[in-house]
Amino acid sequence: MVKKPRFKRIILKISGEVLVGEEEYGISSRVISAISREIKEVTTRGVQVAVVVGGGNLFRGVDASSRGMDRATADYMGMLATVINGLALQDALEKAGVPTRVQSAIEMRQVAEPYIRRRALRHMEKARVVIFAGGTGNPYFSTDTAASLRAMEIGADVLLKATKVDGVYDSDPMKNKEALKFDRLSYIDVLKKNLRVMDATAVSLCMDNHLPIIVFNARKKGNILRAVMGEKVGTIIGDMG
């Protein structure tokens, strides 16, 4: 008997820091192709997939505003960066044979569809991977918040947050060898302990709407599929039976 996936519809959040891979800046073609192959594997199991891409590998609003740039302008630049990543992911997915559509929260007709919820749902029903770019379309937000928001809107069963570490730790595992990894966490613990895995807006949106989050390492081959199949990977935040 072939095992059934645990989830029918997922939102996969891929941050810029995953896409940069071993490069210093920009997009690693090795990483983006590897992730695309994994997404393909997930779709062949009949799972509907939407992806929210970050932009931190290209531009981060807060960093630029700390150097004196107007925050809203810097954030719009950050949102444009996510469109660049979205197009790169679309290219890699289509090379892997996966039909995709990019929908941007900031209108950009020549390169992407505008974000239209019902249209996104239709694409997913037709087994197309929908890439949500442009974040929420608003400054002062993050692509993690965009992922939570879109997850709610499309009725996703889970938010899979792909990172470059194995899950949520009590301190930065890149800096502290003694850092402890959590297997499970409640939303409120993430907020109270200030665990910085996601910003508070994103976490509280998931909390209010009971959306489970799985934080896992995207660098380990097969992890996306493992998470979708319900195998134990990374850290689970929230209620998930």
Q: Which residues bind ligand UDP (CB under 6 A)?
A: 15-17, 54-56, 60-62, 74-75, 78-79, 81-82, 135-136, 138-139, 141-146
Q: Which is nearer to ligand UDP, 36 or 148 (CB)?
A: 148
Query: Looking at beta carbons, which pairs linking 21-26 to residues 24 or more positions away fall under 8 Å?
Result: 25/57, 25/58, 26/57, 26/58
The number of residues making up the chain comes to: 241
113 CB neighbour count, 10 Å cutoff: 17
Q: Which CB atom, from 21 or from 56, has the smaller least distance to ligand UDP?
A: 56
Q: Nearest distance from residue 60's CB to ligand UDP, in Å?
A: 4
User: What is the smallest separation between the CB atom of 148 and ligand UDP, expressed in angstroms?
Assistant: 11
Q: Nearest approach, Cβ of 85 to ligand UDP (angstroms)?
A: 8
> Distance between CA 166 and CA 39 in Å, rounded?
19
Return the number of the residue (21 or 55) whose C-beta is nearest ligand UDP.
55
Closer by beta carbon to ligand UDP, 45 or else 64: 64
The least CB distance from residue 4 to ligand UDP, in Å, is: 30
Q: Which of 198, 200, 196 is nearest to 175 (CA)?
A: 196
User: Quick check: 130 and 52 in contact, CB under 8 A?
Assistant: no
Cα–Cα distance for residue pair 129/237, rounded to 1 Å: 25
Phi, psi of 101 (to 5 degrees): -135, 140
> Which CB sits closer to ligand UDP, 138 or 204?
138
For the bound state, the minimum distance from the C-beta of residue 104 to ligand UDP, rounded and expressed in Å, comes to 11
